[in-house]
Amino acid sequence: MLLSCNDALEITQKGELNDAALFTSIGNMQLFLNETYDRLNLENDITVSSLLTDEVAIGSGLTVNDTQRFFMVTTNGYAAGIWNSHYNLINYCNRLIRGAALYTPTAAELPAYNSIIAQARALRAFAHFELLTYYSTDLSDNAAPGVMIVDFVPAASQDIPRSTNGKVFDFIESDLTYVDANLIEPTGTNAYKFVNTNFIKSFRARMYLYRKNYPEALKYANSVISTSGRILSTCTVTVPNFPATSAATVPQGAGTGSTTINVDPGSGFPIQRALYQVDQWVSAVSPVYRKMWVDAAQGEILFALDRPVNKVNFSSTYNTNGSYLTGGPLYDMGRNLFTAYQSSLGGGAEDYRRWCFVDRSASISTTPATASRTNEEIVIDKYPGKTGGHTANDLKVFRLSEIYFIKAECLIRSGDLPGAAGLIQQVRQARSYTGGVVPTPVYANVTGALADVLLERRKELSFEGHRYIDLKRLGSDAGVTGTDRYARDAVNGSATNPVNINNGDYRFTLPIPQAEINVNPLQQNPGYVTN
């Protein structure tokens, strides 16, 4: 009779692993940090960017997808997934920071202690930025509604309002200032999979670009290019019989269309064998660029999310069982994107991305205007797997080529069109596999220059989560009216008109998930009806 309600509800079990029991050493803090890294997920971010733009068409293994048909409502699963995954990461970061306060490090432990907290704050800052990218109408407007700032572990019943962009970015800056002062640079082969100086500088370059703070974006892009220790990955192929980008190769030989990455087509099929030799996961003749995509080399990667075999099989987003013709393609590559890869780079140079991002088992129609979902399957091969697994690949978050594009855009904004052209030429030259000198483009005006940057970003950064925000922030300035989906992509996907969405469409900002508003009455974004 003397027990209160709290006594009945707030029961502490013997042996419970609470903060006081967990955060008792630097080692335990590091273990919790390792788990926190696992909470950094960009899978939904990448997928929604593909589905809401012009990167994919419905493949033969999928019957319908509402998001690919531009159906975006407050209960959309991808929008909820982005929101929930990033706030889940933020919660882990805050739990680590809160728990660390319970442990007093020795003088010798203090640098490592501060570096662990710095990594948590870097991840927290990046998560808030990703949320702004998808749920703010305009990242350059400080007064526009942003997202919830969460720098503590909230109670389940606690309401947290949306803050303005300006306040969220101030919070991000404060976290990054702490990181600058306390981060210990990781070392070793996998150092690029942890928060490091290249991550912080690249993050800042991208953030300031989206904020339209071009001088700051240029400063950090220059720093990455000059001090990162990475160079653009090359694509040179010296294998005999390797085809031109315009070739419509027909899968032939052993293993045709099925797990072809492991099966030699045989010497009787010289073109397919050449493709097989370069495609192999551990092939000595593969270009560095290809090895980077099969996780056999770091290449130009500045920061990646570690995805070991049998952990997170992101490739299954695009292909059910593997990125080959009989692997159950859920989505084909958008036809207009594929056509862009077929185009010559000029000067006798051809684009290796045609072969790196499209599996050699793909069936390419000579009459795409009348092709069906079964007689043209442009199999997406940007996530081909790695040794031991067909669907597991690290997610490349920052690469040097993106930094080149950031610098080029900043130079254009300042009026240096020739400087920007030189950077675009360097990226294109690195993507040539046939030799030749790629001509430097000549830009007549800012609009034309930005259009070329947008084109190169579309080709290079496809299926990495960039296209959606690029069209939103850059499309109008580049003279692009909206998405560039090929008409048959929509028909093949059982889509309804319109085939494309235009710049300024409300769907270029995602809805605050209905499930969040049900428990936390946040202001909804324009264009969406809250139930």
Residues of the chain with pLDDT > 90, as a percent, come to 77
Short-list 438, 222, 268, 233, CA closest to 346: 438
φ/ψ bin of 257: left (φ > 0), alpha (ψ from -120 to 50), beta (otherwise): left
List, for residues 385-414, the tens digit of each pLDDT value: 888 888 889 999 999 999 999 999 999 999
Short-list 83, 82, 56, CA closest to 69: 56
Give me the mean pLDDT over the 330-334 stretch. Answer: 94
Short-list 147, 133, 149, 141, CA closest to 166: 141
pLDDT at residue 145, as a whole number? 97
The one-letter code for the residue type at 93 is: C
Cβ-based neighbours of 346, under 8 Å, separated by 6 or more = 436, 438, 439
Cis peptide leading into residue 498 (ω within 30°): yes
Q: How confident is the model at residue 310 (pLDDT cuts 50, 70, 90)?
A: confident
Residues of the chain with pLDDT > 70, as a percent, come to 94
H or E element that contains 99: helix 77-100
Mean pLDDT of the chain: 92
pLDDT at residue 495, as a whole number? 46
d(CA 299, CA 288): 6
Other C-beta atoms lying within 10 Å of the C-beta of residue 402: 25
Give me the mean pLDDT over the 485-496 stretch. Answer: 68
d(CA 487, CA 499): 6
Q: Is the pLDDT of residue 5 over 80?
A: no
pLDDT at residue 490, as a whole number? 79
Q: Is the pLDDT of residue 2 over 70?
A: no
Q: How confident is the model at residue 295 (pLDDT cuts 50, 70, 90)?
A: very high
Q: Is the pLDDT of residue 75 over 70?
A: yes
Q: Is the pLDDT of residue 9 over 60?
A: no
pLDDT at residue 494, as a whole number? 46
The phi and psi torsions of 349 (rounded to 5 degrees) equal: -95, 140
Give me the mean pLDDT over the 105-133 stretch. Answer: 98
pLDDT at residue 144, as a whole number? 97
d(CA 438, CA 454): 18
Least confident of 47-51, 152-156, 175-179: 152-156
pTM of the model: 0.95
pLDDT at residue 493, as a whole number? 45
Give me the mean pLDDT over the 212-232 stretch. Answer: 98
Q: How confident is the model at residue 260 (pLDDT cuts 50, 70, 90)?
A: low
Give me the mean pLDDT over the 255-283 stretch. Answer: 83
List, for residues 155-205, the tens digit of each pLDDT value: 888 999 999 999 999 999 999 999 999 999 999 999 999 999 999 999 999
pLDDT at residue 4, as a whole number? 47
Give me the mean pLDDT over the 347-351 stretch. Answer: 95
Give me the mean pLDDT over the 373-378 stretch. Answer: 86
Question: Which one has a higher pLDDT value, 495 or 187?
Answer: 187
Cβ-based neighbours of 301, under 8 Å, separated by 6 or more = 192, 230, 292, 394, 396, 398, 399
Q: Is the pLDDT of residue 284 over 60?
A: yes
d(CA 444, CA 421): 11
Give me the mean pLDDT over the 419-442 stretch. Answer: 97
List, for residues 417-429, the tens digit of each pLDDT value: 999 999 999 999 9
Question: Which one has a higher pLDDT value, 6 or 237?
Answer: 237
